[in-house]
C-alpha cells in the first residue's frame, strides 16, 4: 500500500466556484476541484495555493481549512490510499486556464448548484458543500471581503 497526501481548494470568486474538466484518454473523465500532491518540505497551505495556480492558472488566497477527504485507487501492482486536505479559498478574478499537461481540458467558475451537480466525486461534493456554507456565513456577517 502507498500512502499519499494532497491538498486542494474550493476557490470562490463573486459567489462562483472554480472547477476543472479532466479527460485522460477518455478513461478518466469529469469535473473536479483543483488539488495535488504535497512536495517535500512544503506546508499543506502552500501546496493548496500552488496546485490551484498550476492546474487552473488562478491566483487565490486561503480563507480557512475545510476538512479532509480520503479515498483509495489501484495502480499497477499496488493500492494508493490518498488523503486530501481542503481549504476554502478566495479567487482574485474569473481568470482560469486549464493545465493541459495534466489532461485538464476546460476550467471555469460555476454557480453553486451547477458546480455541485457537475462534480464527478461525492467526496468533492461534500467538501464543496462545507466550503460554500462557510462562504455564506462569512458573507452574511460581512467578513468575506475582509481577508485580502
What CATH code is carried by the domain that includes residue 95? 3.90.79.10
Range(s) of the domain holding residue 85:
2-147
**Residue 145: strand, helix, or coil:** helix
pLDDT in tens, the chain (148 residues): 999 999 999 999 999 999 999 998 767 789 999 999 999 999 999 999 999 999 999 999 999 999 999 998 888 899 999 999 999 999 999 999 999 999 999 999 999 999 999 999 999 999 999 999 999 999 999 989 755 4
* pTM of structure: 0.93
Task: Give dist(CA 19, CA 51) in Å, integer.
Answer: 13
Counted domains in the chain = 1
Amino acid at each position: 500500500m502507498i500512502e499519499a497526501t494532497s491538498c486542494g481548494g474550493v476557490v470562490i470568486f463573486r459567489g462562483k466556484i472554480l472547477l476543472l474538466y479532466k479527460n485522460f484518454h477518455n478513461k478518466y473523465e469529469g469535473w473536479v476541484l483543483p488539488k495535488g500532491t504535497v512536495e517535500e518540505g512544503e506546508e499543506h497551505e502552500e501546496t493548496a495555493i500552488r496546485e490551484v495556480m498550476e492546474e487552473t492558472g488562478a491566483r487565490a488566497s486561503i480563507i480557512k481549512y475545510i476538512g479532509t477527504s480520503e479515498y483509495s485507487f489501484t495502480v499497477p501492482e499496488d493500492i494508493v490510499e490518498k488523503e486530501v486536505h481542503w481549504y476554502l479559498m478566495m479567487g482574485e478574478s474569473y481568470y482560469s486556464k486549464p493545465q493541459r499537461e495534466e489532461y485538464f481540458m476546460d476550467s471555469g467558475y460555476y454557480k453553486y448548484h451547477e458546480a455541485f451537480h457537475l462534480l464527478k466525486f461525492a467526496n468533492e461534493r461534500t467538501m464543496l458543500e462545507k466550503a460554500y456554507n462557510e462562504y455564506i456565513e462569512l458573507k452574511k456577517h460581512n467578513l468575506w471581503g475582509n481577508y485580502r
